[in-house]
Each structure stands twice: as structure tokens, then as C-alpha cells.
Amino acid sequence: MAKNELTVTAEKFNLVTLTGDLAEAVAEEMDGLGSIPFDRVKIPSGGGLAFELPGDTEEDTESATELIGVILDHNPVNAYWAEKFSGGNEQPDCSSYDGKQGVVRATGEIRSCETCPYNRFGSDGAGKACKNVHRVYILRENNPVPLVLSLPPTSLKYMRDYIGKRVLLKGFRCWQVLTKITLKKEKSRDGITYSRAVFAFLDKLSPEQAQMAAAMREVVKATSRQIDIADDYQAGPAADPAAPKAGPDGFMNVPEGSDEELPFN
């Protein structure tokens, strides 16, 4: 990234985590109420360039053209509905918190996502009957509660490229760096306009910040696999029946004419 693009640095980023006195206050006040729920950020349908974030009340929403923060954790999530998912609160008939093992809701049976026929390309027309998304937990400035961003397959190539080339090959982990996420308008080969995520490396965290983020990462991992899976598919691209479908490898094909570099190819 060019120096003139570095608008935010780790030195100026006020990282706040649920530790110390704040952790004690949360534990006391939330006793009997459960943990503080994570807020969700939504990617718009139809090629919009602004994320939708929760506002101060249940009715209010805010928009943001970029998300800047620390990616504390990320994991694949799979969900299968025997009937077409309508975008409501109906729970999936089979779900997986790691993209590897699914649990059938009615029987508790554990199935392999790798061999499941519903998780195969072509099991639902041009896509999969099992819906795959990838959760990303982002800790923003001055806010100790992470945002949950559920990425559809259209964005996975670019997240893989970013983590592999811009983070890991520089000797870092995601929770040791400051990341910016924006949106880019794309069009599939079928003519469907959609929004996909763009990732940018901003700065490395200081050793003290990285230590705080590492501790917060463990807090997130202890609770994130219990978040309602149906929420990942509500009112977003993953629930849009017109959204572009992933290819056989689970990733969205790069649009024709795209100038993006194919990751690890």
C-alpha cells in the first residue's frame, strides 16, 4: 500500500477490549442475562458500496463505506434448509460452525460437510443446497464488542488472498494487524450486480496492542461458535436467491475483465 493511502495507523487506533475493570463490570451487570451480543454488519445487495450497521436503537441503522479494525477471528459456517430459506428466523435443518461437521437438528446426527450431497456444487441448480458463508469478527476503535461480518462466497477469494499474501507472508496473524474492509461493485458472467469485500493492510499493531487483541480473540472464540446461524443468512447477499453462486471449489469465479490477481493460482 502506498504511503499516501495509510490514513489510519495503529499508533492512533484506540483498541479497547473486555479486560480488567471493564470485564468485571460486564460480568456483574450481565449476571443472569448472558453475554453481550455481537452486532452484525450487512453487505448490501445489488452492488451497494456502504455497509449497514446497527444504530443506537433497534429501529435505527447506520451506513459506513469502510470498516477499520482488527480481525480477531474468522470461521466458515454452513446451513441447510430442506425448504427454501425465506430470510426469517427459521432454524436450518442441518448446520455447521466449522464448515467440516454438520449437525442434523431433528436427530443430532453428525455429518461430514465434505461428503454431504447437499454441500456439493449443482445440488441446487447452479449452486449448493447447503449455504456457505464465512464469519469475520472485527474489533473497531473505541468499541470492545466485535462486529460480525458474514461474507458470501463472492468475497472469499479476496479474503484468502489478503490473509495469505498480505498478512501471513509478512509474518503476522490477523489479530496482529489493522485491516480496512471496503466494498466494490462487480457483475457476474450472468449479469448479476453484487457487492464484494475488498481487504487492505493498514498497519501492524504494537506489541501491547497485539497482546490485548490476542486475549480478546480467546474471548471471542469461546462464544462465537454459539451465535445463531440463521442470523448469518438474514437480509443479506447470502439470503438473496439472485446472488451469484459459488463454483465447485466453494469460491465465486472472478468476473470477466476483472483486474484482480488470482490468489495462489
Helix segments in 113-206, DSSP class H: 156-161
Q: Which of 251, 259, 256, 242 lies closest to 46, judged by CA?
A: 242
Q: Which of 66, 68, 70, 38 lies closest to 54, judged by CA?
A: 38
pLDDT at residue number 230 = 76
Which range, of 49-53, 60-64, 116-120, averages the lowest pLDDT? 60-64
Distance CA(149)–CA(239), nearest Å, equals 14
Inform me whether the pLDDT recorded for 154 exceeds 50. Answer: yes
Amino acid at 57: T
| Averaged pLDDT score across all residues of the chain | 84
Label residues 148-162 b or e (16+ Cβ within 10 Å = b).
bbbbbbbbbbbbebb
Q: Which of 1, 46, 26, 13 lies closest to 185, judged by CA?
A: 46
pLDDT at residue number 227 = 78
Tell me the average pLDDT across 90-97.
90
Tell me the average pLDDT across 34-52.
89
pLDDT at residue number 96 = 94
Most confident of the ranges 114-128, 149-163, 212-226 = 149-163
Distance CA(119)–CA(101), nearest Å, equals 11
Asked if residues 140 and 149 have their Cβ atoms less than 8 Å apart, the reply is no
Q: Where are the domains of the chain?
A: 3-73+137-229
Tell me the average pLDDT across 33-62.
87
SS3 content of the chain, % helix, strand, coil (to 5): 25, 30, 45
Q: Which residue has the cell 492512533?
A: 12
Number of neighbours of residue 57 by Cβ within 10 angstroms: 7
pLDDT at residue number 238 = 53
Tell me the average pLDDT across 115-127.
89
Helix segments in 44-101, DSSP class H: none
- Cell numbers at residue 148, please? 460480525
CA distances from 264 to 71, 225, 234, 261 (A): 21, 29, 32, 9
Q: Helix, strand, or coil here: 32? A: coil
Tell me the average pLDDT across 69-94.
87
Q: What is the dihedral of CA 81, 87, 91, 97, to 10 degrees?
A: 80
pLDDT band of residue 263 (cuts 50, 70, 90) is very low
Inform me whether the pLDDT recorded for 257 exceeds 60. Answer: no
pLDDT band of residue 173 (cuts 50, 70, 90) is very high
Asked if residues 164 and 174 have their Cβ atoms less than 8 Å apart, the reply is no
Helix segments in 73-155, DSSP class H: none
Distance CA(163)–CA(238), nearest Å, equals 22
**pTM, two decimal places:** 0.83
pLDDT band of residue 18 (cuts 50, 70, 90) is confident
Distance CA(86)–CA(90), nearest Å, equals 8
Task: Give the residue, 220 or 204, on which the prediction is more confident.
Answer: 204
Asked if residues 146 and 18 have their Cβ atoms less than 8 Å apart, the reply is no
Q: Helix, strand, or coil here: 43? A: coil
Q: Helix, strand, or coil here: 149? A: strand
